[in-house]
Structure formats: C-alpha cells, structure tokens
Amino acid sequence: MRINFFSLLVVLAMISLTSCGGGNQAVSQNSEPSTIAVNVSQTSPANSSSKPGWTLVWSDEFETNGLPDPTKWAFDTDRNRAGWYNNEKQYYAANRLENSRVENGKLIITARKERLITAADYGGQNYTSARLVTRGLASWTYGFFEIRAKMPCGQGTWPAIWTLGVGGSKGMVWPDDGEIDIMEFVGSKPTEVFATVHTKKYNWQGGTPPASFSASVPDACTAFHNYQLTWTPEKISIGVDDRIYFDYINPKNGDPQAWPFDRPQYLLLNIAIGGDLGGKVDDSIFPVAFQIEHVRVYKN
C-alpha cells in the first residue's frame, strides 16, 4: 500500500505541536505557520470547465463587467469600525468598483492606499480593500473547489481563498465550526502559498496550533494557477494545479473539536493588508490587485 507522506506528516505534527494562547475569538489568520515546502510546476494546467467524475454545482466565470454578481457574492464589512482581526490595516469596502469589479473575464479585488473618511463605518484605516463572501447565498458540505487566481505582489499584501463554517442552530462560532484555508499568500514570501485547517482543537488562539504547509509557486504573482480543495468525509486535501501538498485526515473518533467538517462552509475571497502575517507594509506598491478567473464547486 502506498503511503501519502504528507498525510503522515500532518498527523505527526498534530500530535507533537505544543500549546499557544491569546488572540481574537473570530480571527481566521493570526500567526505565521510552520511550513514544509513542496515544489509546484510553473506550468498551470488548461483552464478546463470540466472535472471527470464530478458534477459542477456552482460557479462564477466573471463574464459580466461591473460589480460582482450580487446573487453569488456579498460584502463582509462587519469589523470596519471596530478594526479587523490580526492587527490588519484595511477597510473593506462594499459595492465599490475601485475595490472589487469584474472586467474582461476576471474578478479584480484591489487594495489601495486611501482613507474613506466619509464612510459611515470608517474605523481610521489607511487602506481600502474588499472581502467577498458567499455567506447567506451559497454554502457546501464536501466537494471539489477550484479557484483560478493570480496573487498581488508587494510587501504587506495578504490575499486569501478560504472557507468558514456557517454556524447554525447550535450557535457554533470560530473556531468551533472550522475554517479551511485553501490558499494564503504574503508579499514577503512571493514564491510560496500556504494551506491550513483550523478547528477548536487545532487553532492559533488556544489548544494546539494547526498544521500548516506551503507549496513553492515561483510565479504566483505573475501567472494564474488553480488553487484546489477536495473535501470528503474522510479528509481534506489542498493542492495547486492538481498537485496535492496538504492532507488533513478525519480522525473518525466522533470528536467535533477535531473534525467539524461535516457541516456547511461558505467561501471567502479577500486581500488583507499588513497584520500579524502580512507584516510591514510598503506604501509604494499600491494599488495592488488579486485577480480571479473562475470559482467552481463540484460534487462527486
């Protein structure tokens, strides 16, 4: 029987990591993870709209210019006045073409150096950006997710493709209802992308930190790549361009603190600026754009 080396490493990491504490309740990205690098080919596979053995159930191909499709995407602005988690420095704008627009077949999320002092929920931020979510519009339990994207370059950028649990009648909140970071990127490491899974048992704020792995993508800032999640009842697998570099195995011991991933999650796309992982910001880089060619969700 062939053993998946990285699945073994994840399990060992979960057993051996020590405790850490502190931080915000609903934070999603808080501290720089320990990583193991895996090389990914610079040649991205064809931009195919099919996946053998899977059925496409939701997608956005970004074919209509203007603001993002409001039937598919909402804007998360909840923490603008109070300030965003992880000491992030951005104001997330809603329905503003300067920060999120569809143009020439791409969703373009743009971070800018500017102060929106006239906004009713302005919280003193020196930068604007956008955080798009499918919350309240679409969520999924299990599936294959593919987001084809190109990262923004520059020190201080922190784009992410990720999911969060919808909570539900039991009142579950982060980290109890889980988080899957399909892709995180920081401008200080322009040739790497990161994957992480957060649960109540494994998270940056307490208990045992999550295992987090990286893939080497030398042209992440200059070329589009397919960032992928395969989520089944057995495990979560994350990869780039059909190469898996991270597996999180369901312990199957009935412990929801380790595996809350039998309930729906919704999708998020955003650029954070600075913060605990984004680091020091180079103001000369702005504006910077996170470009997405498609978002596709399949069911087996």
Q: Is residue 237 a contact partner of residue 75, using CB atoms and an 8 Å limit?
A: no
Torsion 82-87-89-95 (CA) sign: negative
Residue 176, pLDDT score: 92
Q: Which of 298, 297, 294, 227 is nearest to 63 (CA)?
A: 294
Task: Report the distance separating Cα 7 and Cα 235, nearest Å.
Answer: 10
Of 179, 192, 234, 293, which residue is the catalytic one? 179
Residue 42, pLDDT score: 55
- For residue 110, count CB atoms less than 10 angstroms from its CB and return exposed for 0-12, middle for 13-18, buried for 19 or more: buried
Q: Catalytic site residue 146?
A: no
Average pLDDT over residues 124-135: 98
Q: Catalytic site residue 179?
A: yes
User: pLDDT by residue (tens digit) across 232-258?
Assistant: 999 999 999 999 999 999 998 889 999
Grouping H, G, I as helix, E, B as strand and the rest as coil, residue 5 is helix
Q: Which of 59, 114, 91 is nearest to 292 (CA)?
A: 59
Say which residue the tokens 């798009």 belong to.
Answer: 132
Task: Report the distance separating Cα 104 and Cα 187, nearest Å.
Answer: 25
Beta-strand pair 37-39/212-216: parallel
Torsion 17-20-26-30 (CA) sign: negative
Which residues are CB-neighbours of 3 under 8 A, at least 6 positions away?
A: none
Task: Report the distance separating Cα 130 and Cα 146, nearest Å.
Answer: 20
The pTM of this model reads 0.87
Of 88, 146, 184, 192, which residue is the catalytic one? 184
Amino acid occupying residue 157: T
**Strand ranges (DSSP E) for the chain?**
37-39, 55-60, 74-75, 90-92, 100-103, 106-113, 127-129, 131-133, 143-150, 157-165, 179-184, 192-198, 202-203, 206-207, 212-216, 225-231, 235-240, 243-249, 265-273, 288-299
User: pLDDT by residue (tens digit) across 35-56?
Assistant: 455 666 555 565 666 788 999 9
Q: Which two tokens stand for residue 131?
A: 């955080």
- For residue 128, count CB atoms less than 10 angstroms from its CB and return exposed for 0-12, middle for 13-18, buried for 19 or more: buried
- For residue 287, count CB atoms less than 10 angstroms from its CB and return exposed for 0-12, middle for 13-18, buried for 19 or more: middle
Which residues are CB-neighbours of 124 under 8 A, at least 6 positions away?
A: 83
User: pLDDT by residue (tens digit) across 3-44?
Assistant: 333 333 333 333 232 222 222 323 333 344 444 556 665 555
User: pLDDT by residue (tens digit) across 130-173?
Assistant: 999 999 999 999 999 999 999 999 999 999 999 999 986 556 78
